Chain A
Amino acid sequence: MALVDATRGSDGAPVATPIDRFLAAQADLRVVERFARAEVTARTGRWSDLIPLSAPGPGEQYRFEVDLDSCTGCKACVTACHSLNGLDETESFRSIGMLLSPTPAPASAAAPAAVAAPAEQTVTTACHHCLDPGCLNGCPAEAYEKDPVTGIVKHLDDACIGCQYCTLTCPYDVPVYNDRLGIVRKCDLCADRLADGEAPACVQGCPTSAITVSTVSTVTPAGSTTQGTEGLDGTDADGPTERTIVPGAAPSQLTGPTTWYRGRLLEPSSPTPAVDPTPPVPQHDHLPLVVMLVLSQWSVGVLAGSLLLGAVTDGRPLLSTTTATALAAASALASFAHLGQPLKAWRAVLGWSHSWLSREVLALSAYIGLAALAAGLHAIGSTGPAAPLSVGAALVGAATVGCSVMIYVATGRRWWRPSTTAPRFAGTVLVAAASWAAVATSATERGRPVGVVAAVVVAAVVGAERHRDRGLRSATDPDLRRTATLLDGPLAAVVRRRLVLTALGAAALVLGTAAGDEGLLPVGVGVVAVGLLVAGELTARRLFFRACAPRTMPGSHR
């Protein structure tokens, strides 16, 4: 049978083909008007018994309560939060994870299953509205506030500068950076809904009422959690028993999370400890911060190296102060690159009374000013006042490095504790100072011994670092073990790169200074050496971020 040409009428003129009619029918949306409702049964009444009837009294605040036995793992809470709060496509203030029971649960009815822990337990999590919020304490821009009545920790989107420091100080990965807006956002416990007597989105979304909001006492000292979370033991090598809100979570001592998880899995009598099945993964490397840290530390090292060298020979003060100023300025510029809202950068000093990030900003600014002034004085030959000014600049520089150390120490992350972060950052200063001294003397008769000493200093710094990192393998602290897993596994190649770059840099230092010639060769070798060493330090600093993957909340395999 031949196909009928439906596109032409008998007179050959085009007519509306069937397909045109069907496309028109497809585009017709009048049915919407036919079935549209101008009102629906109020959604909100159904959940009214899942939230407190009144605002918290003095010494109380709101908290989430999660009944793990009622939670089946359907994950509707995550989508409800996403949809009812108008969040971006990738965004939800709730997330889910999973705990597994590694040892067998009773396989038959001989043992009452009702009291046995589940083999797999989904854990839903949002902001824990901590008693002592890490996000708020760390924020340099005063973009957080803890509501004095409800205890809800709110993020003030307007005030956020997008520095993302709170993503490091929150032990639970709650604030998440939003690329489109250049700020972080987080759960506010649907404060406006609660004020209206309406349940938060996640509470509305849960088919089995596993999530509720209740009131909790805040009288217990900050840093420990409130009732209902006792008995959740994890072991800590270095200190007393840790408490966590669920197995596998960050220690509650850090911020005093208020969420109360309950269920068979968490009973002290539960036969099997639950584990988070997800292995640690390398974290974001925050490249602008890597550059900022290394450049600022290198700058301080150059200045210090020059001053030390100046005690015995020509420290090349003009060149060193100029270089230090330039490096510090570049470092500050790099930190701008990390801000989602660079125009609001000035706000970064607002938190000076509690945020080490604010203090670092202030110290770095002062350091740049002093170093620049010293450089200027050297440039006009006014070496008299320049020398003490340089010393002052170096001291302020050291304070800047100290603030940098404290920024990471303050997160409470085990791998960033003072005993490792301070030598790490100071190590960069030392490497910079040593290589400055070597390069500055390379064309003189002191070049060879200084070069050798510099190489030894570099080797000592890196050797100590390697010694510390290898020591993690035998750590009992779970977070340090996670770091060791990353350094030996997915990041092993980066570790090797760090060592090779630095070893080559140290060798080049010796080579460059050994030449003992006034020609271009030693200068060239010196530049190469410094380049390799800087690259080594940048790699080390990337590892500093990438290998820091402490427990937050349980992850998920499905």
Chain B
Amino acid sequence: MINTRALRSLAKPWTPSTELVRTSSALGLGQLPISVDADAVVRSVCGFCSTGCSLDIHLKDGNAVNITPSPDYPVNSGSACPKGWEALAPLDATDRAVQPLLRSPNGEGMLPVSWDRALHEFVGRTRAVQAAHGPEAMAFLSTGQIPTEEMALLGALTKFGMGIRHGDGNTRQCMATAVVAYKQAFGFDAPPYTYADFALSDVIVLVGSNLAIAHPIMWERVAANPHDPTIIVVDPRRTETAAAATQHLALAPDSDLDLFYGLANLLIERGAVDRAFVEAHTTGFDDFAAHVAGYPVDAVADRTGLAPSALLAVADAIAGGRNVSFWWTMGVNQSHQGVRTAQSLINLALLTGNIGRPGTGANSITGQCNAMGSRLFSNTTGLLGGHDFAVPEHRRRVADVLDIDEGRIPREASWSYDRIMTGIDEGAIKGLWVIATNTAHSWIDQHGCHDLLDKLDFLVVQDMYHSTETAQVADLVLPAAGWGEKDGTFINSERRVGHITKVRSAPGEALADFWIFKAIAEAWGCADLFEAWQTPEHAFELLQELSAGRPCDITGIRGYEMLDATGGVQWPFPADDGVGPDDGTVAAAGGRGPETERRLFADGRFHTPDGRARFLFDPPTPVAEGVDDDFPLVLLTGRGSAADWHTRTRTEKSTVLAAMTAKAPYAEVHPDDVARYGLGGGRPAELRSRRGSVTVDVVETSAVQPGQVFVNMHFAETNRLTFPAFDPHSRQPAYKHCAVRLQPVAGSVPR
């Protein structure tokens, strides 16, 4: 017998492969591959979604080499979704913009230019637009993806320095509805909850939220809830979240307003109203009760397509719950009547007294990593620091803090995103500056959008990549540093201000957006206005000062060190608010730390002038584009996978993430519709709306109901189909509903 073990050992001298050998990390990170064994870690809040997980970035010889989720951060306690694990990969992409690019004189192709030349072009052509068409003819579109300090500097530079009037963010596409709903009902844009509430509820109502996929680390809290909670998911689609629920209400698309009025009626009928709370802390209940009396259970069942027994069961659960929390995401926000729908949930929380206590609340889960920062500090819809452009004392206060002439502050809010787009169409906007967003992919009704961008005299795109759909049609591309290459703060969904740390230098001549704005201020000749904004950290101090006395007061934060040491600080945290124990590390950083998890409105005092929350309601309105014989199917859109982020500009750069996502557009279709329209057999289908068509792979699944089709939003093709309807209050686009049809692609073969 041949001794194979002996022979095997003969091979040893030739072998190359010890690379997977692991060693026990001296830092407490467990076993790590020797090749990337860390010698230090730096903590940084993740730059994808609004959950705001902290990531331990592993450093080896000063290089960021790996990431593990921070085990001791209150948000994620050691977990991250796949995007967080792969957060470094997008930085290494080959299509990074590494120097400014200027469209060549013949219009074809982009030529690399120096920063000086780029700034010269930027200033010269912006001034030309403004000179020819008025200062308001240059607008900007910003983002919820950059730190608060940067978006605040952008808002201040454009509006106070450059005379730009109109600027909005991609946050309009994700949470404008929640902002308006809260402002009207609570008197301030104040999501009241803390993530601990997920685990403290005994009834959890999730509306239009595929939490398990869109916010996996929030779902972790739900899954860890020790109270055996009743989980009610309201969603037309049987999502992963719906499948994990106690009860799934697969209602007809856009019938949620009927549903929640009907539930309010049922709750009032059975005496589930918290009279004491309603009388002490709200106004408008009687009118609301009279309104919802017009929503009897049978009519609501009819409109929503749900069984009356299902409605009764939900009303029972809400009435019987001790701590009931209501959560919503894009299914509500991206609707033609999103604000009233969000408020119909706020109404349910108010009338049952489920607010201000642990495990309760009417809670908007927002989308982007710094959408919440943008809500307070972007200086677009609201004046810096949770102020109002229209209020003179607010303008005065901001002018004082920033030491600028009050006359520089506009007296009105900017146009909303859709109004800017319409302005382009009408010729009122001739120049557009797009920062860290991808309008040509993500804006609703894409054909219209591309035509609009063509109408511009000057389109500037400031982005990490020169390859985004929008950058490809730009006149000037300014190369930006990305997450991991800059410092600053984000505010997450539960109002937690968290710190992000620069761990990499940017490639080529790419600059953090903060420095690009500073450079533009220099080139524009208004740098003196922004003298105090020396670094992001200086800017943060200004923002703190601006927040003083507002509901979002964060004057108690003692610098980035405190954020880093405490695991983030939720607003409000005023300087005189010495809440919470001092754990020493905070003292070392120069201040006392707040409690780790805090919620709002424990005292029942809201931010309205009378301190009372408002019951707000309107009758439901029909969808903008209903189905008919030509377009008989409802198109639903949403997140496809936890490995995809929005327009994929970053996640597609990670090979590991890209391997876990669909390669070609697909549509989820109910088996009945597959049969009805002669689809299936592995052949692609044509999905068509009145605005465009997409070739899709057909995925046959009962996750969608008959008459509905689901496509994910990550494919650029999706917005060829969507219909440009908007919520009248929030101007948020209604991505979740339009009419389409499906047919086999003629002559196609299975693929």
Residues of A within 8 A of B (CB): 1, 3-4, 6-7, 17-19, 22-23, 25-27, 29, 31-32, 35-44, 46, 69-70, 72-76, 78-80, 82-87, 89-90, 92, 95-96, 100-105, 107-110, 113-114, 118-122, 142, 156-159, 181, 183, 185, 190, 192-193, 196, 198, 204-208, 272, 277, 279, 343-344, 347, 350-352, 485, 489-490, 556-558
Contacts and interface: CB of A to CB of B under 8 A. Distances in A.
A168 to B, nearest CB: 21
A85 B219 contact: no
Interface string B515-539: 1101100110101000000010000
Contact of A29 (B36, B505, B656): B505
Contacts of B89: 89
Interface string B492-531: 0000000101111110011110011011001101010000
A1 B580 CA distance: 54
B720 interface: no
B116 interface: yes
Contacts of B111: none
A558 B41 contact: no
Given A29-B505, A107-B705, A557-B662, A79 B124 contact: no
Contacts of A29: 62, 502-505
B525 A109 contact: no
A121 to B, nearest CB: 8
Nearest to B640: A558
Contacts of B43: 35, 37
A87 B699 CA distance: 32
B602 interface: no
B701 interface: yes
Nearest to B82: A79
Contact of B29 (A40, A78, A207, A351): A40
A454 to B, nearest CB: 37
Given A79-B657, A181-B17, A277-B700, 11 more contacts: A1-B525, A26-B505, A26-B512, A27-B505, A29-B502, A35-B564, A72-B240, A90-B656, A118-B238, A118-B240, A557-B666
A40 B73 CA distance: 11
B28 A42 contact: yes
22 contacts: A3-B120, A18-B519, A26-B512, A32-B503, A43-B28, A43-B71, A46-B71, A79-B85, A83-B66, A86-B33, A86-B36, A102-B671, A104-B671, A108-B249, A108-B306, A185-B20, A207-B217, A277-B699, A277-B701, A347-B7, A350-B4, A489-B750
A163 to B, nearest CB: 14
A536 to B, nearest CB: 24
Q: Report, nearest first, the 4 A-B pairs whose CB atoms are least far apart.
A: A86-B33, A118-B243, A72-B212, A109-B310
Interface string B726-751: 00000000000000000000000111
A31 B561 CA distance: 11
Contacts of B305: 107
B700 A32 contact: no
A73 B127 CA distance: 50
B219 A32 contact: no
Contacts of B512: 26
A40 B71 contact: yes
Contact of A193 (B30, B72, B703): B30
Contacts of B467: none
B178 interface: no
B399 interface: no
B641 A558 contact: yes
Given A101-B702, A119-B703, A157-B17, A208 B682 contact: no
Contacts of B712: 558
Nearest to A193: B31
A121 B239 CA distance: 10
Given A23-B511, A86-B35, A277-B701, A36 B42 contact: yes
Nearest to B642: A74
A557 B518 contact: no
Contacts of B525: 1, 4
Contact of A109 (B86, B220, B248, B703): B248
A326 B601 CA distance: 88
B78 interface: yes
A97 B314 CA distance: 33
A279 B683 CA distance: 10
A78 B306 contact: no
B522 A6 contact: yes
Interface string B608-640: 000000000000000000000000000000001
B699 A86 contact: no
Contact of A36 (B12, B41, B124, B671): B41
Contact of B487 (A31, A36, A558): A31
Contacts of B695: none
Contacts of A23: 115, 509, 511, 515
B85 A558 contact: no
A19 B82 contact: no
Contacts of A6: 116, 522-523
B475 interface: no
A156 B8 contact: yes
Contacts of A556: 660, 662
Contact of B42 (A35, A204, A344): A35
Nearest to B699: A557
B32 interface: yes
Given A43-B78, A107-B250, A158-B12, A74 B212 contact: yes
B548 interface: no
Contacts of A344: 11, 14
B138 to A, nearest CB: 15
B635 to A, nearest CB: 17
Contact of B17 (A27, A32, A158): A158
Contacts of B248: 108-109, 113
B656 A74 contact: no
A22 B519 contact: yes
Nearest to B317: A109
Contacts of B699: 100, 277, 557
B68 A43 contact: yes
- Among the interface residues B33, B487, B640, B656, which one has the most CB atoms of the partner chain A within 10 A? B656
A79 B79 CA distance: 12
B24 to A, nearest CB: 7
Interface string B1-25: 0101001100110111101101010
B56 A19 contact: no
A76 B219 contact: no
Contact of B40 (A7, A38, A109, A183): A38
Contacts of B246: 113-114
B701 A101 contact: yes
A54 B238 CA distance: 41
Contact of B243 (A25, A36, A120, A205): A120
Contacts of A558: 640-641, 661-662, 666, 712
Contacts of A489: 682, 749-750
Given A72-B216, A83-B68, A350 B700 contact: no
B507 to A, nearest CB: 10
Given A29-B62, A489-B682, A72 B219 contact: yes
A350 B3 CA distance: 9
B244 interface: yes
B243 A31 contact: no
B123 interface: yes
B511 A39 contact: no
Contact of A72 (B213, B485, B505): B213
A82 B656 contact: yes
B40 A36 contact: yes
A73 B32 contact: no
B176 interface: no
B30 A204 contact: yes
B70 interface: yes
- Among the interface residues B43, B240, B519, B657, which one has the most CB atoms of the partner chain A within 10 A? B240
Contact of A84 (B16, B32, B116, B499): B32
Contacts of A76: 79-82, 85, 216, 642
